[in-house]
């Protein structure tokens, strides 16, 4: 029987499913193992169900000679060195598709919260500062009929775009490859160049995967091109935005606000974030609904079962490694 590790607490249903197939070593705690603990628990394993907080790199792989598959319970996989996996003959998988709507929902939650000062106003009420209704108090920005810009128009970007119809917004996007005319019509979205996207968006939502190419895709130069009334929403990955440049832009009111679920070096945020009254901050909870987390972990389990049974895992990221080299 193959041996696997589940690197974090998941649902009992996921554990039960995997126990039908494998000898399971379960880290039943919702906190990451240290890299050293991970290496030692993985040393005799054939597969692992991981979370985005676990770093899977060449050094770890070298310490795990039996490992054949790494199944991330996340769509993003920048925690996994895919080339190192391929070189080591280890399959890697992710969980695309099942979290699109949940993540699109939180992009909208942050967009609306940023536009209408929801987090700061809530804090103000709770701390007893509300002295009476004001005609000019807490004036925000209209979302309806504004221009929504989306950078990165994959499945989640498209789900964000589709939701804009109810707000009767104009939707523009920029992507490496243009969507088909049919997809554009479904999303009611127009493809524009990056400069137009930056210049014309009232709300700019980032939906790119993180990679060396998308590192600091939004920095001081890009923020300078945005409208002073614009809001930036990032539910993709920390590192796509240059956080120091964003903090400076928010402090100087070069843009109006930001809704952020992901940060460079999270969970250790730049402390200047805490002093901003024009940023809404959430702790990387984009896919965090019970139903979606269950689907993600079950999909990661499906991938693990397929891979170790000699079938092609449904979400294989490195098809070069179809037959594990060891």
For 228, the token pair is 């002073």
Q: At closest approach, how far in Å is the CB of 20 from ligand GLV? A: 25
269: DSSP letter: -
Q: Is 144 part of the annotated catalytic residue set?
A: no
Question: What is the pairing mode between strands 257-260 and 279-281?
Answer: parallel
CB of 218 to ligand GLV, least distance (A): 18
Site string for ligand GLV, 37-76 (x = CB under 6 A): ---------------x---------------------xxx
Look up 87 and say whether it is catalytic.
Answer: no
Of all residues in the shown chain, the one whose CB is closest to ligand GLV is 76
Beta strands in the chain (DSSP E): 3-6, 23-26, 47-50, 69-72, 91-93, 147-151, 170-174, 189-191, 203-206, 231-234, 257-260, 279-281
239 binds ligand GLV (CB under 6 A): no
Active site residue 266: yes
DSSP notation for 58-106 = HHHHHT-TT--EEEESSS--TTB-HHHHHHTT-EEE---STTHHHHHHH
Taking residues 83 to 112 in sequence order and writing x for each that binds ligand GLV by CB under 6 A, - otherwise, the string is: ----------------x-------------
CB atoms within 10 A of CB 179: 19
Catalytic choice (17, 117, 237, 293) = 237
- Which of 55, 216, 266, 272 does the annotation list as catalytic? 266
- Name the residues annotated as catalytic: 237, 266, 284
Residues of this chain that bind ligand GLV (CB under 6 A): 52, 74-76, 99, 286-287
């Amino acid at each position: 029987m193959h041996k696997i590790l589940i690197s974090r607490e998941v649902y009992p249903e996921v554990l039960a499913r995997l126990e039908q197939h494998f000898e399971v070593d379960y880290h039943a705690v919702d906190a990451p193992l240290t890299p050293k603990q991970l290496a030692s628990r993985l040393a005799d394993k054939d597969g692992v169900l991981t979370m985005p907080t676990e770093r899977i790199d060449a050094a770890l792989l070298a310490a795990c000679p039996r490992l054949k598959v790494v199944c991330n319970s996340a769509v993003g996989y920048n925690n996994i060195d895919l080339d190192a996996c391929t070189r080591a003959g280890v399959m890697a998988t992710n969980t695309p598709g099942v979290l699109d709507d949940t993540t699109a929902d939180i992009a909208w939650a942050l967009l609306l919260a940023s536009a209408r000062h929801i987090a700061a106003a809530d804090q103000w009420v709770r701390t007893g500062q509300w002295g009476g209704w004001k005609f000019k108090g807490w004036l925000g920005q209209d979302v309806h009929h504004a221009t929504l810009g989306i950078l990165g128009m994959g499945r989640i970007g498209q789900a964000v775009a589709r939701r804009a119809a109810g707000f009767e917004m104009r939707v523009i996007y920029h992507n490496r490859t243009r969507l088909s005319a049919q997809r554009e019509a479904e999303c009611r979205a127009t493809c524009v160049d990056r400069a137009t996207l930056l210049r014309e968006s009232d709300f700019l939502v980032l939906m790119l995967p993180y990679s060396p190419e998308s590192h600091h895709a939004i920095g001081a130069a890009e923020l300078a091109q945005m409208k002073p009334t614009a809001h930036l929403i990032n539910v993709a990955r920390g590192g796509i935005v240059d956080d120091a440049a964003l903090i400076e832009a928010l402090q100087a009111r070069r843009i109006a606000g930001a809704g952020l679920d992901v940060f460079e070096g999270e969970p250790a945020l730049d402390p200047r974030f805490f002093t901003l009254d024009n940023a809404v901050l959430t702790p990387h909870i984009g896919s965090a609904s019970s139903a979606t987390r269950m689907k993600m972990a079950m999909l990661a389990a499906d991938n693990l079962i397929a891979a170790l049974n000699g079938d092609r895992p449904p979400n294989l990221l490195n098809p070069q490694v179809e037959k594990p080299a060891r």
